[in-house]
C-alpha cells in the first residue's frame, strides 16, 4: 500500500542542510541576474540549495536541462515530461548562485510500475517484497559548468533522504551506462543487479544498479 504525498506541502527547510536554503519565488527561483558571465571569477562553494520543484517554470527549467544533456550525450530521443500532481513522482533541483546546476526525478513504485520494468522486470520482482518499497532515480542531468563529485553526492543524499522520509522507500534502483557503473558503485554505494541490456529509448547500453537505504549512515 502506498500513501499519497503532496510535495507542495513539504516543510520548506527539508533540504536546507545541503546549502543555503532560500524561499523560492514563483517561477524559476531567480533572485538576481545570472552570474554566468562572471563564472570564472566566482569561488566554487560546496553548498547547494536542493529542493523539490513546485512551479511550472521550475519543471520546464529541469526538463530543458535534461533535454540539453541528452543531446550532448548523443541521445536523440525526446525526454518524457511528468504530471505535476503525480504523488509517486517528484523532481529535485540543485541550485548554486541561483543557477540550476543539476536535477533528477524520483519515481516511487506503484501499480503503474517503474520505467526500469521495461528491461529489468525480473530483477525488480525480487526486490518487491512485503514491507519494502522500491523507487528509481531517472532523468539525471548535471550542467557541465557545475559538474563535480560534491554536487553528485549532495544530490543523491537529498534524493535518498526524500525517498526515505516521504516515500517510506527501502530500495533505490537506477539504470546507467555500463561505462559509469563502477563510478556509481564506488561513489554512491550502488551494486549491479542486472546484466547489460540495450535501452531502445536512449539507443544505448544500460545496467541496473541497486542500493538498500536501510541503515545508511547520515541519511
Give the model confidence (pLDDT) of 63-81 as tens digits.
Answer: 999 998 875 444 444 444 5
Beta strand pairing call for 49-52 and 89-96: antiparallel
Q: Where are the beta strands (DSSP E) in the chain?
A: 49-52, 89-96, 99-108, 134-142, 171-176, 191-199, 204-212
Residue 42: its pLDDT value, please? 52
Residue 97: its pLDDT value, please? 80
Where is pLDDT greater, at 190 or 6? Answer: 190
Give the angle subtended at the CA of 135 by the CAs of 49 and 151, to the nearest 5°: 25
Give the chain's domains with CATH numbers: 12-29+49-212 (3.40.630.30)
Instruction: Grade residue 96 by pLDDT with cuts at 50, 70 and 90.
Output: confident
CA 61/CA 29 separation, integer angstroms: 10
Amino acid at each position: 500500500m502506498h500513501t499519497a504525498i503532496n510535495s507542495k506541502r513539504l516543510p520548506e527547510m527539508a533540504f536546507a542542510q545541503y546549502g543555503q536554503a532560500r524561499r523560492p519565488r514563483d517561477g524559476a527561483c531567480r533572485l538576481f541576474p545570472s552570474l554566468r558571465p562572471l563564472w570564472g571569477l566566482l569561488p566554487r562553494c560546496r553548498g547547494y540549495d536542493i529542493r523539490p520543484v513546485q512551479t511550472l517554470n521550475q519543471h520546464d527549467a529541469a526538463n530543458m536541462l535534461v533535454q540539453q544533456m541528452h543531446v550532448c550525450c548523443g541521445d536523440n530521443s525526446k525526454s518524457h515530461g511528468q504530471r505535476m500532481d503525480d504523488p509517486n513522482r517528484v523532481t529535485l533541483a540543485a541550485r548554486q548562485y541561483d543557477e540550476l546546476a543539476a536535477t533528477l526525478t524520483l519515481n516511487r513504485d506503484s501499480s503503474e510500475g517503474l520505467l526500469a520494468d521495461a528491461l529489468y522486470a525480473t530483477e525488480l520482482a525480487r526486490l518487491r517484497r512485503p514491507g519494502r518499497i522500491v523507487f528509481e532515480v531517472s532523468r539525471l542531468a548535471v550542467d557541465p559548468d557545475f559538474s563535480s563529485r560534491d554536487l553528485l553526492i549532495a544530490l543523491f543524499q537529498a534524493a535518498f533522504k526524500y525517498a526515505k522520509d516521504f516515500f517510506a522507500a527501502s530500495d533505490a534502483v537506477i539504470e546507467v551506462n555500463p561505462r559509469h557503473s563502477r563510478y556509481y558503485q564506488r561513489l554512491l554505494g550502488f551494486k549491479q543487479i542486472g546484466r547489460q541490456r540495450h535501452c531502445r529509448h536512449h539507443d544505448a547500453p544500460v545496467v541496473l544498479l541497486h542500493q538498500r537505504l536501510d541503515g545508511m549512515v547520515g541519511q
